[in-house]
Amino acid sequence: MTESIRAGVIGLGAMGAPMARHLAAAGLLEAIWNRTQARADELAAETGTVVASSPGELARCCNVILTCVSADPDLEQLVEGMQDGLQPGTTMVDTSTVSPATARKMAKRVSQRGVGFVDAPVSGGVEGAMKGTLSVMAGGDSADIERIMPVLESFSATITHMGPVGSGQATKAVNQVIVGGVAEAVCEALALAEKLNLPSQRLLSVLGAGAAGSWFLQHRGQSMLEDRFEKGFKLALLLKDLKIVRSMARELNIPMVGVNSAIRDFEWLVEAGDGNNDISGLIKLKRLPAEKDA
């Protein structure tokens, strides 16, 4: 099965580029494409991979197409651009974070060309993408997921089939509720710790060893206390994800108090120009005097 896979990757950002490298190392990568040509050329030189001239050309030469883009409109635009190149028997794997409704819509669209679709959003951060230890939450037909398993295994530690198309994105929505809530709690806690003049190294050590320990505290605690927010998951992207969650919650008629609070905070930061910072940049807001914290 592995020998028959000719994978293409569209979207070579902080997550997509490392995934493409793992595919190349596994001998599965056939072609790449990115809106920024220079980024694609650089990765092609590094991996010896072909740069497709367009998404349609990539679709013509690959039987597994992995997409990793920022938002729902980006994915819809890509699918539209690939239509003429899609070949029957191809499987499209979307690792972006979009709404379940968009995943189902795209699956229906490509099925008209005889193409399977798997929504496979990931969790684990940029570190997980680089190390090949991501957690994949997949939605789609069992046969499609089985076919692309070598692709998913090349960059992940765990792969879980959650149900039909859209289930992966539904699971990612749940994941992002927790990510946003943990970020709120950890940033508030460390802002408090700074005001209390607690020794940072000992603080992080004792918190991480107990019930307060988390991935976010372990990987972002030290950097946020040092005011380093340049690497990691962008604030603007988590804001986009949480707005997807809010829309889903409204349709289901369930309250999302924590999500709504996080959305207000991240909107404030994006409007302040911090949208490209890691989500740990939230501590900048938590440090403000109470009367200015809105």
Beta strands in the chain (DSSP E): 7-10, 29-33, 50-51, 64-67, 91-94, 116-119, 122-123, 134-139, 156-163
Contact between 69 and 35 under an 8 Å Cβ cutoff? The reply is no
pLDDT above 90 (res 291): no
pLDDT of 231: 87
Contact between 163 and 119 under an 8 Å Cβ cutoff? The reply is no
* pLDDT tens-place string over residues 11-47: 999 999 999 999 999 999 999 999 999 999 999 999 9
User: Across residues 245-267, what is the average pLDDT?
Assistant: 97
pLDDT of 1: 40
The yes or no reply on domain 170-292 and CATH 1.10.1040.10 is yes
pLDDT above 70 (res 294): no
User: Across residues 227-240, what is the average pLDDT?
Assistant: 95
Which are the contacts of 253, defined by CB distance < 8 A and separation ≥ 6?
none
Average pLDDT along the chain: 96
Which are the contacts of 9, defined by CB distance < 8 A and separation ≥ 6?
16, 19, 20, 23, 29, 31, 32, 33, 66, 67, 68
pLDDT above 90 (res 290): no
Q: pLDDT > 70: what percent of the chain?
A: 98
Residue 285 CB-density burial (10 A; 0-12 exposed, 13-18 middle, 19+ buried): buried
pLDDT of 2: 45
CATH class of 2-164: alpha beta
Residue 135 CB-density burial (10 A; 0-12 exposed, 13-18 middle, 19+ buried): middle
Contact between 75 and 16 under an 8 Å Cβ cutoff? The reply is no
Q: Which amino acid is it at 211? A: A
pLDDT above 60 (res 157): yes
Among candidate residues 106, 114, 104, 125, the one with its CA nearest the CA of residue 215 = 125
User: CA 171 to CA 60: how far, in whole Å?
Assistant: 31
Q: Spell out the domain ranges in the chain.
A: 2-164, 170-292
pLDDT of 202: 98
User: Across residues 90-119, what is the average pLDDT?
Assistant: 98
Q: Across-strand partners of 234?
A: 278
User: CA 259 to CA 94: how far, in whole Å?
Assistant: 25
Cα atoms found within 13 Å of the Cα of residue 22, Cβ hemisphere only: 21
**Active site residue: 105, 108, 172, 240, which one?**
172
pLDDT of 184: 98
Task: Name the DSSP class of 95.
Answer: -
Is position 240 annotated as part of the catalytic site?
no
Q: Across-strand partners of 118?
A: 93
170-292 has the same fold as 2-164: no
User: Across residues 162-169, what is the average pLDDT?
Assistant: 98
Residue 108 CB-density burial (10 A; 0-12 exposed, 13-18 middle, 19+ buried): exposed
pLDDT of 16: 97
Instruction: For residue 235, name the pLDDT band (cuts at 50, 70, 90).
Output: very high
Contact between 20 and 9 under an 8 Å Cβ cutoff? The reply is yes
Q: pLDDT > 90: what percent of the chain?
A: 97
